[in-house]
Amino acid sequence: MRNDEGSTTILTLVLGFVICSAGVVAMIFVQLTLARATLGSYADLAAIAAVQTSGEPCVAAAQISSRNGVELFACEVNGDQSIIEVRMPAPFLLARFSNIESLSVTARAGYSVISEF
């Protein structure tokens, strides 16, 4: 007869490791999702500020970006439209377990002309 002492301990340890690993992956995914949503909101605000200002559009976008703690990476204004790209450092867990150091999002804002038929 075989001795099965300790097999439950090993199975419990493996199961605990799998659960912890799944938790870390879930936390990384949640951090990435929240960071991208927040960064998208900040990019939208900067793009709207660039369109609505009466002064220098890229300066207004840079001020809004810096107040929100993100970096204005690119600013392009064509007439009544602005295209803004902002960056921020990647969340801790994402940066630690991948080689992603920063996240960037591009936003566009502007006035559109609706033609009547």
> Does residue 105 register a pLDDT over 80?
yes
Residue 25 lies in a domain: yes
Q: Is residue 48 part of a domain?
A: yes
Domain range enclosing 18: 7-110
User: 77 has which bridge partners?
Assistant: 82
Q: Is the pLDDT of residue 111 over 70?
A: yes
- Structural domain includes residue 97: yes
pLDDT digits (tens, 9 = 90+) for 49-94: 999 888 899 999 999 999 999 999 999 998 888 999 999 998 888 8
* Contacts of residue 75, Cβ cutoff 8 Å, sequence gap at least 6: 50, 57, 58, 61, 62, 82, 83, 84, 85
**Is residue 117 in some structural domain?**
no
Query: What φ, ψ does residue 73 adopt, rounded to 5°?
Result: -95, -40
CB atoms within 10 A of CB 88: 20
Strands (E), 1-117: 71-78, 81-89, 102-110
Residue 82 lies in a domain: yes
pLDDT tens-place string over residues 7-48: 888 999 999 999 999 998 998 899 889 999 999 999 999 999
What pTM was estimated for this model as a whole?
Answer: 0.76
Structural domain count of the chain: 1
Question: Considering the domain boundaries, does residue 115 fall inside one?
Answer: no
